[in-house]
Structure 1
Amino acid sequence: MSADQRIRTIRNPYALLTVTMMLWGGAFASSKSVVDQVPHTVAATLRFGGGAIALLVTVGVTRGRRLGASSSLGASVTVRAGARAAAAGVLGVFAYNGFFFWGLSLAPSLDGGILIPVMSPVLTTAFQLVSGREVVSRRRLVGFGLGLSGAAVYLVGAGGAGGVGGAGGAGADRLAGDALYLLSAVCWVAFTLAAPKVLADIEPLTAMTCATCAGAVLLGVLALPDVGQVQWGALPSQVWLNVVYLAVGATAIANVFYYRGISAVGPASASLMMFLVPAINTLCGTVFLGESFTPLQGVGAAALLVGAALAGRARIGFWGRGSRLRGRLPESESESEPESESERVVETMISAK
C-alpha cells in the first residue's frame, strides 16, 4: 500500500468511525476486568481520571495546531459555556458511570454493552415523541414498543440466568445489575437531550473534556472511602493495561476519531455505526471474559436492536460531493421527514463510554 493510499484510508470517515466503535465496544469488557480487581467506584475513577488527563492533552494539542493554522480559531471557551458543559458532566459522566460501574460489579459486561447503547436512542426518541418535539409515525411507535418489549424480555431472561462465568453472581444479582444499566441509559438520555444547549457556544470535543473533568472529580470523591481497600502493589499488570486502554483508546482517541467522522458523514449516518458496539462487546465479553446470555435474552436483544433501528429513524448513504461523505435521505423522504432533534445531537451519544 502506497503512502497516498494509507493517507486516504486514515482520512476515510467510515474507517475512523469503525475504529471508534471497536474501541467503544471493547470498553465494556475492559471495564469489567478492572472492576473484578478493584471496587467499582475506584475503577470508574481510574478510567475517567485518566480519560480526563488524556482529553486535556488532546484538546491542548488540537488547539495548538489550530492556533498555528489561524489565530482566529484559538478563541478561549467562555466561563459560562465551560460551566454548562461541566454541569452536564454530572449526568453524563458522574451519574451515568456511577450506575454503570456499579452494574458491572453485579452483572456481565455483555448486558451493559447491549442494554445501554440500544436503549439510549429508544428512550431519547420516546421523550421526543411524548414532548411533541418529533413527528409521531407508525414506524417509530412500533420501534419504541418493540424496544421496550425487548428490554423487558432481556430483563426476564437475566432474572433466570443463574450463575454466569465472570458475570458477578446469580440471577438476582444479574437482574439488579441490568436495572443499574438501565438507570445509566436514562442518565445518558438526559445528557443527550441537554446537548443542544451545552454545544451552543463550545466545540463538542472541548465540551466533552469539561464534562469528563467534572465527572471525574465527583467520581474521585465517591471513591475516597474505597481507596484504602485496594492493594495497589498487588494489582496485576493487565489492570493497568486496561486502564490505559480505557483512558487513552476508548476516551481520547475514540472521541477525536468520532468527531472527525461525524463532521464528514453527519449524525444520522454515524448513528447506524453505533450498532457495531453491541456486536463487538458481545465478541469481547464471550471470548475474553467467558460471559454468556440465555436464549431468552438473545431474543430480547434482537428485538431491542430492531426497535432501536425503527425508532431512531437513521439512514445511511454514501453519496456526496467532492471528498465529503454524508448520510442522506431519498428525495421523496427528505422533504417530508426533516432531520430529527435526536439525530442532530447523536454526536454526544456514548462518547463518554
Structure 2
Amino acid sequence: MTRRIRQRHESVHAHLYLLVTMIFFGSAFTSSKVVVSELPHEVAAALRFGGGTLVLLVLLGTTRGDSGLDPAMSWGRFLRAGAVGLLVVALPVIPEVAWTEVSASTWVNIGCLALGPTAVAYLCYYRALRVVSPSTSTVMMFTVPVFGTTCSMLFLGETFTTPQLVGALIMLAGALLAVTQGWFRAGPEREVTTASGSAIGTEHAESEAG
C-alpha cells in the first residue's frame, strides 16, 4: 500500500511539472508577440534562447558540484547548442536595432522568455519524463494553445470567441481523460485479478483432493 501511495504521489508531481511546462510554453506566445513588436525576429530569438542557455549553464554549474558528477557540458557541445546558430543569423540585423528605444516591458518579456519557457520549462518537462510516458506528455501539449490564448486575453486584451472556447474545452477534456486513464480503475482491476487468482487456486486444490 505504501509503495502504491508513493507511486501515486510521484505521478501527481510529474503531472504538475507537465502543467507548469505547458503554462510556460503557452505564455511564450504572448511574450514573443510583445518582443517582436519592437525587435526583429532574428534578434528576439537569439536573445530568448541565448538567455535561456546562460540560465541553464548557471544552473549546471551550481548543481554539478553538489552531485559530484563530471561536467556534462563541454565547449564543443556548447558550440553545437542552437543559440549560437541563432546568434550568427541575428548578427546582420543587430546594427539596425535602436537599442535605446527598446521599452522596459520588452526587456521584461525577454527575461521571462529566457527564464520560463526556455530554461525552467524544459527542466520541469524532463523531470516529469522520469515518471510519465512520452505519449502522456505529448497529449498534454494540446493544452498549450489554451494557456497561450488565456495569457493573450489577460495581458494583451485580445478577444476569445465562442468557437475558441468550445475548442479549448474539448482539448482540455481530451487531455484530462488521457492523463487520468486508469487512475480510478486500478484498484478494482486488482481486486478482480486477486479474486480470480483465489478462485483458480481453490479449484486447483479441490481437483487435487478429488
TM-score (structure 2 length as normaliser) = 0.67
User: 1:55–1:251: 8 Å Cα contact kept in structure 2?
Assistant: no
Matches within 5 A, 1:91-102: none
Which residue number in structure 2 is paired with residue 41 of structure 1?
A: 42
List per-residue Cα deviations over 1:9-30 (Å, max 9, x = no partner): 9x82222221121111101110
User: What is the aligned partner in structure 1 of residue 102 from structure 2?
Assistant: 235
Q: Give the distance between the partners of 2:45 and 2:134, measured in 1 at CA.
A: 28
The offset of 1:63, in angstroms, is 2.7
Matched, 1:64 2:60: no
Inter-CA distance 230–62: structure 2 relative to 1 (3 Å threshold):
same
CA displacement at 1:76 relative to structure 2: 4.7
Q: How far 1:33 sits from its partner (Å)? A: 0.3
Please give the per-residue CA displacement for 1:49-94, whole angstroms capped at 9, x wherever unaligned.
1111112122233333321xxxxx43756999x4xxxxxxxxxxxx
Name which of structure 1's ranges 46-55 and 217-226 shifts more when overlaid on structure 2. 217-226
1:316 aligns with 2:179: yes
Q: Does 1:282 align with 2:164?
A: no
Larger radius of gyration: 2
User: Which amino acid is the alignment partner of residue 37 of structure 1?
Assistant: E
| Residues 1:77 and 1:53: Cα distance change in structure 2 (over 3 Å) | closer
Is 1:266 equivalent to 2:129 in the alignment?
A: no
Q: Is the 8 A contact 2:27 2:151 kept in 1?
A: yes
> In the comparison of the two structures, how many residue pairs are matched?
172
Q: Distance in 2 between matches of 1:79 and 1:35?
A: 30
Query: Hey, what's the Cα distance between the residues in 2 that align with 1:317 and 1:295?
Result: 27
Give the Cα separation in 2 of the matches to 1:28 and 1:302.
18
Offset from partner CA, 1:193-236 (integer Å, 9 cap, x none): xxxxxxxxxxxxxxxxx59x632112112112221221212211
Identity of aligned residues (%): 40
Alpha-carbon spacing, 1:15–1:58, altered in 2? closer, same or farther (3 Å): same
Shift of 1:47: 0.5
- Unaligned 5+ residue runs, structure 2? 1-8, 184-188, 191-210
Alpha-carbon offset, residue 287 of structure 1:
3.0
Cα distance in 2 for partners of 1:255, 1:245 equals 14
Structure 1: any 5+ residue segments left out of the alignment? 1-7, 68-72, 83-209, 321-329, 332-353
User: Is the Cα contact below 8 Å between 2:26 and 2:146 reproduced in 1?
Assistant: yes
Runs of 4+ in 1 over 6 A off after TM superposition: 77-80, 293-296
Indicate the SS of the match to 1:275: helix
Higher-helix-fraction structure: 2
Distance 1:15 1:77, change over 3 A: same
SS at match of 1:228: helix
Distance verdict in 2 for CA 1:267–1:246, change over 3 Å: same
Q: CA distance change for structure 1 residues 79 and 266 in 2, over 3 Å: closer, same or farther?
A: farther
Asked whether the equivalents of residues 149 and 160 of structure 2 are also in contact (C-alpha less than 8 Å), the reply is: no
What displacement does 1:269 show? 2.3
8 Å contact kept, 2:43–2:90: yes
Q: What is residue 186 of structure 2 aligned with on the other side?
A: none
Q: In the aligned structure 2, how far is the partner of 1:79 from the partner of 1:57?
A: 14
User: Structure 2: how far apart are the matches of 1:79 and 1:251?
Assistant: 20
Partner of 2:28: 27
AA partner of residue 129 (structure 2):
I
- Residue in structure 2 matched with residue 246 of structure 1 by the alignment: 113
Q: Which residue does 1:257 correspond to in 2?
A: 124
Give, in whole Å, the separation in 1 of the partners of 2:57 and 2:72.
Answer: 14
Q: What TM-score, normalized to structure 1?
A: 0.42
Equivalent residue runs for 1:116-265 within 5 Å: 210=78, 214-265=81-132
